[in-house]
A = this chain, B = another copy of it.
């Protein structure tokens, strides 16, 4: 199927009561994401465009869009703010792009739980939730602009994951409401383990219209930079902080020295040649935190209270994939990987093995109850062959790579067909209209 032969005039007329965008510049912008972090994806995706963007404001409009897609068999790609990095929301076969950013109601926020529409921006949500002492359990470094629905559809973890693990962990998404692309579009609510059918499915099996998310107590998060002479000391410090059950924390990032100069906004706090940890720790635990820093002979070069931190740029924006963003803005030939190192021994091995070709950036997270070092290491890109060699070597040594150089759902993280998601797609998207080309298992049986 190609969307080029569709009767776009008729389709546009059918949707004329909605906000529609067909301006080519806007269409280009709303067809793409941060796929250009990968030189491999860049070549594959740079020319992909939707035919029109539609911005619904409520569920009824979404049903209308779904019905229109079904009537004409139009490919449909759902996007939030487009802050993903692997083309999750880039339409491979054109068609309609459903931009959720106007679906930004917050039906309710209660202690511990909230109900949101998918287009709610995460930082804006937290501002409201903090009025009653709560906040999101986790969020990506694009927190200020990213939408909650986009994070659930295409993300997996972020700040907060050092306490609450990953989005896929039981409890981190409580319920989802979707509109299906069945012959007659209908509404389905998923709760408990059922949410995993749609969680991190790149919008291939249902249009999320509402989410129930658990909240975390909103601590006053101090933002801190600690620098170290030795990389492995910084890494061990990160692990120790992650393992310190008596200290409440939200972010533990460690950058090897070669990464620091790319973080130009932090130059004053990152002495040349030093390795750094960028941290968010509860103000209530700062006494204990200072003791841990002393134990590891770290030097604190930056410490803002939560109130001070709220006035400027958060350290969050120098962590997770914002690190890659800053590095690439200095040197566009850089790219990155996503790695579960699992142990510091592996981190040390790769640190010495690759030298400056692979600059190690660690994010400590909880996986099944344990603090592990994950990584978004920066890569001096030469060729696709070499990149694959680097990936292969990591995997041979027992690290897990969530490949950010593929837009195929199954090839990124878990490397296996998720039959629950595939079977759910058969039910709710029998014509395979939703984000076609992303779920490899679809149509392969």
Contact = CB atoms under 8 A, between A and B. Distances in A.
Nearest to A367: B245
A242 B366 CA distance: 12
B245 A163 contact: yes
Interface stretch (A120-128, A287-295, A330-338): A287-295
Nearest to A287: B192
Given A244-B171, A369-B245, A284 B192 contact: no
A366 B245 contact: yes
Top-7 shortest CB links A-B = A243-B369, A165-B245, A171-B246, A171-B288, A112-B284, A169-B246, A217-B217
Interface string A160-202: 0001111001111011000000000000000111000000000
A236 interface: no
Contacts of A163: 245
Contacts of A242: 369
Contact of A170 (B166, B284, B288): B288
A39 interface: no
A383 to B, nearest CB: 38
Contact of A245 (B169, B192, B285, B287): B169
Interface of A: 111-113, 133, 137, 163-166, 169-172, 174-175, 191-193, 214-215, 217, 219-220, 242-247, 282-285, 287-292, 366-371
B246 A172 contact: yes
Contact of A112 (B174, B215, B283, B289): B283
Nearest to A366: B245
Contacts of A164: 245-246
